Structure 1
């Protein structure tokens, strides 16, 4: 299983979010499960009109000698990051590492879908030639992002887009594990189906993560088969 995290709040160095916490995403790359098939970080620069910017590698996060220096000097008030454990049969280059991007959107998928290459036909929404050519990677996560991005482009809200993709996928693949994270730098939409998901609202910030990265109070578990919608000031949960 992969692990991921999204943060909205006052600008903080990436190191404070990803490597410094006692149960950080960095630590979650090797315990309790090993996520050594790459990692990615997406963040929004302080300029409101800029970003997002992505840094993705196909190596384990602990093997990137450049990351500590970068994480110490780059700050952001909106971050989405993930460490990857690849689904069998998917790409192993950095293009398969979340976050995936479309305009101001960043997306990550924690989970797996069996026979994912047949999913478009089985859900009744085959991909166009342009969408096939535009897939960043040969993976279940990249395909799910195409499906979600198609809905966002059509004007669906973030929650509607993720919930619809989850429902259609589960109808065709009941055993699929579908934990999604989606942000535009101002809000977070997330789903939990099959793996753990937690969130921690604290003043003017919110963190959503596969597992709590600190021992501080305030972490709340998102129920299975739920949709979470969060901003820096609010958090709402609804059934998928």
Structure 2
């Protein structure tokens, strides 16, 4: 159910990240190696990127399969960026909302993607929808579960929450209302990548001080890819990757008083893949 990728690193043509690797996101649109739900991601695609000195990203999205787009090859050959988020889509509901349903979704400096599905959509999200300001619902780009999850995340960001808090809070809210949902979320502002592993695969590639890639699955067989454990929040810059366990609402005891901040200490992934506890 979709594949996505985000990268922070030196400025380079988009082609080197999205097309050239042997198992690139482009190839994952028809031949993913680690996708657990669905087999072909042909229901749309998108790429968002940041230009030097401009905090608001550009986007290119289309409703059809990426391999059928005659402009994609030229775009990725000439556009250069050091901060990218891209996705290929396998729709929860086939044909829903066309290009508007393709990630990345955007607002201001933010780019967002959702790999997964909300169980019982849309009825399961009715209480959450009722709690959102009407303006947030009217802003929805598409009538899909992913667009709605983005509305929940964006509402939290606009309320002043940090990126990690916003993703973790949205995951807990959706999972509490719709158990069994798959909620691999990916968010960036061009400086930090924040992601959740919740029900599907997530990997990262870290070259400290140079480049960090976070992806649904590795785009090559390099030895430095690391899989993110399920029920984990990831925060990454070009220099560092932090992994924090996420509490599943289904596993909580309402009487124990634990909240969003009681998830255990984050794990810092340092140079050379040495792990250390940060308390």
- The alignment's TM-score, normalised by the length of structure 2, stands at 0.83
Higher relative contact order (CA 8 A, sep 6+): 1
Corresponding residue for residue 42 of structure 1: 48
Structure 1 unaligned runs (5+)? none
**What pairs up with 1:2-151 in 2 under 5 angstroms?**
2-32=2-32, 33-46=39-52, 48-88=53-93, 91-123=96-128, 126-151=131-156
Q: Is the 8 A contact 1:163 1:227 kept in 2?
A: yes
User: CA separation of 1:34/1:125 partners in 2, compared to 1, >3 Å: closer, same or farther?
Assistant: same
> What do residues 137-193 of structure 1 show as CA deviations (whole Å, max 9, x unaligned)?
010000000000000011100000000000111111111000000000000000011
C-alpha distance in structure 2 between counterparts of 1:120 and 1:90, whole Å = 21
User: Which region of structure 1 is more displaced relative to structure 2, 84-93 or 175-184?
Assistant: 84-93
Q: Look up the match of 1:190.
A: 195
**Shift >4 Å, 4+ stretches:** none
SS at match of 2:122: helix
Bigger radius of gyration among the two: 2
- Contact 2:2 / 2:116 at 8 angstroms: preserved in 1? yes
Provide the alpha-carbon RMSD of the alignment: 1.4
Preserved CA contact (<8 Å) 2:7 2:83: yes
Which structure 2 residue ranges, 5 or more long, are not aligned? 33-38, 247-279
